[in-house]
């Protein structure tokens, strides 16, 4: 994180929460500065350092360091959450469509997958429901990431005993699409017209029209080529998880906090700051460059809330198995026409 971005976060947190402001005590002496408190929180997030290991260099007590971290992550979520953890708007959707069309996947909005965060201090009464294939209590993060590693969707808090399908049924990923509030995407592949974007997913996800999964036991050069290209593009979300854990090792190691609300703030704040770093490091003019060679412009619907019949029609279209196979077959043919001869 660059210095300017760090100071911007410090200033915003200080203005949002008066607890971070430097004040004088009853004896007239200056208390702890905002830089001391925010630095203590950052060290816990960026080094996964215990609170009692920071008291000497920062001259803070262990309880003050823990309180700084709790208040800091909550302030980051409240101040920057609406901007840096938003669903793609019209401009974002157009940029994502343009990028992925050049990669051979028209209409693709990103890649989806889940990550487990181990919960070391999980209460014993909850350990059974939070323990799954990892053989330790974990909490699941469902995320959608694009090629530039920006995380567009984050759904955190489900127990580790669930799998990706259970988490998908509880998340809000497709709520806007079913309600008709998501930007409409119109594109054509292999002579067929589509009005819904899709996400690349692994084999465990259901066969819905909004997911493109790999082909099991692919036979033929076309299908084998599709499997390779789909696996390569789907690694965007895996790379995003890796970079997130490298920048904030607290979400890579075992969580030592006790309450789930604070864990949710920690994970959400790390994702927000991860997106802020990506935006800060993005070269000037990169967004304009991504529009070169773009396809059709995204049209957005601003209609009112649809009646139940229209909602159910969209709901069935999202979960259409026939639409899933047709979309995948069209992408197989499209990728082969692009560079199958190579």
pLDDT in tens, 109-150: 999 999 999 999 999 999 999 998 888 999 999 999 999 999
Please state whether the predicted TM-score (pTM) of the whole model is above 0.75.
yes
- Among 49, 67, 84, the domain boundary falls at 84
- Among 50, 84, 118, the domain boundary falls at 84
Range of the domain at 25: 3-84
Question: pLDDT-derived band of residue 339, with 50, 70 and 90 as boundaries?
Answer: confident
Same domain membership, residue 140 and residue 233? yes
- Residue 298 and residue 182 in contact, taking contact as beta carbons nearer than 8 Å: no
Same domain membership, residue 123 and residue 63? no
Same domain membership, residue 124 and residue 194? yes
Same domain membership, residue 140 and residue 57? no
- Residue 211 and residue 324 in contact, taking contact as beta carbons nearer than 8 Å: yes
Same domain membership, residue 94 and residue 56? no
Same domain membership, residue 94 and residue 50? no
- Residue 74 and residue 101 in contact, taking contact as beta carbons nearer than 8 Å: no
- Among 41, 69, 84, the domain boundary falls at 84
CB burial of 23-54 (b: ≥16 within 10 Å; e: otherwise) equals eeeeeeeeebebebbbbbbbbbbbebbebeeb
Same domain membership, residue 258 and residue 191? yes
Same domain membership, residue 330 and residue 212? yes
Same domain membership, residue 123 and residue 8? no
Cα distance between residue 12 and residue 103, in whole Å: 38
Same domain membership, residue 178 and residue 40? no
Q: Quote the number of domains for the chain.
A: 2
Residue 290 phi, psi (nearest 5): -70, -20
- Residue 186 and residue 296 in contact, taking contact as beta carbons nearer than 8 Å: yes
Question: What is the reported pLDDT for 342?
Answer: 63
Same domain membership, residue 103 and residue 46? no
Q: State mean pLDDT over 264-290.
A: 82
Same domain membership, residue 236 and residue 250? yes
> For residue range 313-332, what is the model confidence (pLDDT) as tens digits?
888 999 999 999 999 999 99
């Amino acid at each position: 994180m660059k210095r300017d971005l760090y100071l911007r976060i410090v200033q915003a947190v200080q203005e949002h929460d008066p607890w971070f402001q430097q004040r004088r005590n009853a004896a007239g002496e200056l208390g702890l500065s905002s830089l001391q408190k925010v630095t203590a929180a950052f060290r816990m997030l960026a080094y996964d350092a215990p609170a009692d290991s920071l008291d000497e260099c920062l001259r803070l007590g262990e309880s003050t360091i823990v309180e700084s971290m709790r208040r800091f992550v909550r302030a980051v979520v409240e101040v920057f959450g609406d901007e840096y953890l938003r669903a793609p708007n019209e401009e974002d959707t157009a940029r994502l469509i343009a990028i992925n069309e050049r990669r051979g996947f028209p209409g693709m909005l990103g890649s989806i997958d889940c990550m487990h965060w181990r919960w070391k201090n999980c209460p014993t009464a909850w350990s059974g429901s939070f323990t799954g294939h990892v053989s330790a209590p974990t909490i699941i993060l469902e995320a959608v990431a694009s090629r530039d590693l920006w995380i567009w969707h984050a759904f955190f808090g489900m127990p580790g005993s669930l799998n990706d399908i259970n988490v998908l049924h509880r998340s809000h990923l497709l709520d806007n699409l079913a309600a008709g509030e998501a930007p409409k995407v119109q594109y054509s592949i292999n002579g067929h017209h589509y009005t819904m974007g899709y996400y690349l997913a692994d084999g465990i996800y259901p066969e819905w029209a909004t997911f493109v999964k790999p082909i099991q036991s692919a036979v033929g050069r076309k299908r084998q080529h599709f499997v390779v290209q789909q696996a390569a593009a789907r690694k965007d979300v895996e790379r995003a998880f890796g970079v997130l854990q490298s920048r904030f090792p607290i979400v890579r190691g075992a969580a030592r906090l006790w309450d789930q609300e604070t864990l949710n703030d920690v994970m959400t704040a790390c994702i927000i700051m991860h997106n802020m770093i990506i935006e800060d490091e993005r070269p000037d003019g990169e967004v304009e460059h991504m529009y070169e060679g773009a396809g059709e412009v995204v049209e957005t619907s601003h209609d009112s809330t649809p009646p139940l019949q229209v909602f159910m029609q969209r709901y069935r279209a999202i979960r259409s198995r026939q639409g899933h196979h047709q979309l995948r077959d069209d992408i197989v043919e499209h990728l082969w026409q692009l560079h199958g001869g190579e």
